[in-house]
């Protein structure tokens, strides 16, 4: 599904990703944890194609294609989805209108007929139920005036509608109350399938109680310094990142 090889990226002359290696196979759920500022969102945004970041080394293969060579919209149409850490408010753009434009852009890309307003609405309403999204939010401007939790839920709603192959969730759990967390997790679990993969950025074990990952990676200072199974998240929660860093240091000295 996704193969990241020695990926390096910088922003405004500041090197942030310093050689990321990661292999995600179809159906797998990977979690990425790491201290603030370690580069998790940078990785997510580079994968989604944000041009603010300059890739200055390495490669990324996505379903046999050179991902870095694709425009962000093409990445999305090919099945990559990023749930943003900070979803942007877009005044004046109706949520439903926007999402239909997105769905139809994806469908067109795959040679499928576009959905008309009524067809889309029916489809979108079902998905809204899945994430228990207040249907009135669909008629508002994209994220405008949404609460923090509503924004995150709207991201998961969009994911459910767009049906991606690889979904990257960047701290979708932060800002959610316990109920919302369960709903978002249920949304993700409902989409879990042998040919869909997830890359979940989080600071908290609690999300991983609901969405059980196959692998957990620790990102520190632009590198994945430790990988393991789901128990690694528990260990991190207990011992903190300092533990990983000490271990690293010990390893380097030894």
Interface positions, 47-66, toward ligand ATP (CB under 6 A): 52
Q: Which one of 40-48, 107-115, 172-180, 188-196 is the stretch in contact with Mg ion (CB under 5 A)?
A: 40-48
Smaller CB distance to other proteins: residue 87 or 222? 87
Contact between 17 and 7 (Cβ < 8 Å)? yes
The one among 8, 41, 158, 172 contacting Mg ion by CB under 5 A: 41
Q: What is the nearest approach in angstroms of ligand ATP to the Cβ of residue 196?
A: 23
The one among 16, 46, 106, 224 contacting ligand ATP by CB under 6 A: 16
Interface positions, 76-95, toward Mg ion (CB under 5 A): 85
Which residue has tokens 């030894």? 254
What string marks each residue from 163 to 202 as x (binds ligand ATP by CB under 6 A) or -? Answer: ----------------------------------------
165 three-state secondary structure: coil
**SS3 letters for 57-123?**
EEEEEECCEEHHHCCHHHHHHCCEEEECCCCCCEEEEEHHHHHHHHHHHHHHHCCCCCCCHHHHHHH
Helix (H) or strand (E) holding 238: helix 231-239
Pick from other proteins, ligand ATP, Mg ion, none: which does 213 bind, CB < 5 to 8 A by kind? none
According to DSSP H, which parts of 163-197 are helical?
Answer: 178-191
Which residue has tokens 């990926």? 7
Q: What is the nearest approach in angstroms of other proteins to the Cβ of residue 91?
A: 7
Q: Hey, what are 177's tokens?
A: 């109350």
**CA-to-CA dists, residue 126 to 24, 111, 117, 167, 179, angstroms:** 29, 24, 15, 20, 20
Pick from Mg ion, ligand ATP, other proteins, none: which does 227 bind, CB < 5 to 8 A by kind? none
Q: Which one of 20-28, 69-77, 172-180, 237-245 is the stretch in contact with other proteins (CB under 8 A)?
A: 69-77
Contact between 22 and 208 (Cβ < 8 Å)? no
Interface positions, 77-116, toward other proteins (CB under 8 A): 77, 81-82, 84, 87-88, 90-93, 98-99, 101-103, 105-106, 109
Binding residues (CB under 6 A) for ligand ATP: these are 11-12, 14, 16, 34, 36-42, 52, 85
């Amino acid at each position: 599904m996704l193969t990241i090889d020695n990926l390096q990226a910088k922003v405004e002359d500041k090197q942030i990703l310093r050689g990321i290696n990661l292999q995600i196979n179809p159906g797998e759920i990977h979690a990425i944890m790491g201290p603030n500022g370690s580069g998790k969102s940078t990785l997510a945004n580079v994968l989604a194609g944000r041009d603010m970041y300059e890739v200055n080394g390495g490669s990324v293969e996505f379903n046999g294609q050179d991902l870095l060579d694709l425009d962000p919209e093409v990445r999305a149409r090919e099945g990559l989805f990023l749930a943003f850490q900070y979803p942007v408010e877009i005044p004046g753009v109706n949520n439903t209108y926007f999402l239909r434009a997105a769905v139809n852009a994806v469908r067109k890309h795959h040679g499928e007929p576009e959905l008309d307003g009524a067809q889309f609405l029916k489809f979108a309403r079902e998905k809204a139920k899945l994430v228990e999204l207040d249907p009135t939010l669909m008629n508002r401007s994209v994220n405008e005036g949404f609460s923090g939790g509503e924004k995150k839920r709207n991201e998961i709603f969009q994911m459910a509608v767009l049906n991606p192959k690889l979904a990257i969730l960047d701290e979708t759990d932060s800002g959610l109350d316990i109920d919302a967390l369960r709903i978002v997790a249920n949304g993700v679990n409902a989409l879990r399938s042998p040919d869909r993969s997830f890359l979940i950025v989080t600071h908290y074990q609690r999300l991983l109680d609901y969405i059980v990952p196959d692998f957990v990676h620790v990102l520190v200072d632009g590198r994945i310094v430790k990988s393991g199974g789901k128990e690694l998240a528990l260990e991190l929660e207990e011992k903190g990142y300092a533990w990983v860093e000490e271990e690293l240091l010990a390893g380097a000295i030894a």
